[in-house]
Amino acid sequence: MKNPIGIIGGMGPMASQLFYKMVTEHTAAEKDQDHINLILLSDASMPDRTGAILSHQYDGPYNQMLEDARFLENAGCKAIAITCNTAHFFADMIADKIGIPILHMIRETAAAAATRCGAGAVVGIMATDGTVQTGLYQKELEAQGLQPFTPCQEIQKEVMHQIYDRIKNGQNYDAESWKRIEEEYRKAGCKTVLLACTELSVIKADEGLDDWFMDPMETLARKVIECAGKEYK
């Protein structure tokens, strides 16, 4: 296989299969051979990233992610994408330990949000406690001249409910809870809301949410396609 892109997935598995579908559907291709060479490493055994961040016990996900990245590098991959927002806390730690680039979903999404919304816009972050508390998105959005918004503690608990109690648990989203969550972001004047957890990407795909909800996985899929030298459609 020539110059594949490596994907570290399995965090969770439903999000990884959705990402592969996004890449396939958005690659301009007339035959099988026009598509991208990918190595999808679905590492479902990866320790929980939010739990590691909140407990300051980083070794588990750090070591496993570095092992996965080196595996993909040794397999001949030209770049790596990671289909987990929270995992980018650890991706930043391992970036200089490997010899190929990591396509940075958070940085790319912040740049795309700036292009979409314009300077000074309020951009909502809907994410795990781990992603919110590390400030991963806040930092990148502010660097783009945007105003990040995160919800109150009560609504953040409902976001975590959607992620962990529903999608990661193999269930559909909680529609009544989602209405309360959405109202919080609309009242804050958000020009767009980043679905900054890949389980939330699953909700957007399953429920047909409109483009007010911006999916970082879609941005990463575009970056993977362009990195592979293919046309995004």
**Does residue 84 have an active-site annotation?**
yes
Residue with tokens 């958000």: 190
**Does residue 77 have an active-site annotation?**
no
Query: Which is catalytic among the residues 77, 117, 190, 197?
Result: 197
The C-alpha angle with vertex 37 and arms to 31 and 39, in degrees rounded to 5, equals 140
Question: What is the residue type of 76?
Answer: G
CB-neighbour burial class of residue 160 (10 A; exposed 0-12, middle 13-18, buried 19+) = middle
Contact 185, 171 (CB under 8 A): no
Query: Which is catalytic among the residues 77, 84, 117, 190?
Result: 84
Rounded-to-5 percentages of helix, strand, coil across the chain: 55, 15, 30
HSE-up of residue 168 (Cα within 13 Å, Cβ side)? 16
Distance CA 221, CA 217 (A): 6
Kindly give, in sequence order, each residue whose CB lies less than 8 Å from that of residue 15, ignoring residues fewer than 6 positions away. Answer: 9, 83, 84, 198, 199, 201, 202, 217
Q: What are phi and psi of 198, to 5 degrees?
A: -70, -20
C-beta atoms surrounding 201 within 10 Å = 26
List the catalytic residues. Answer: 84, 197
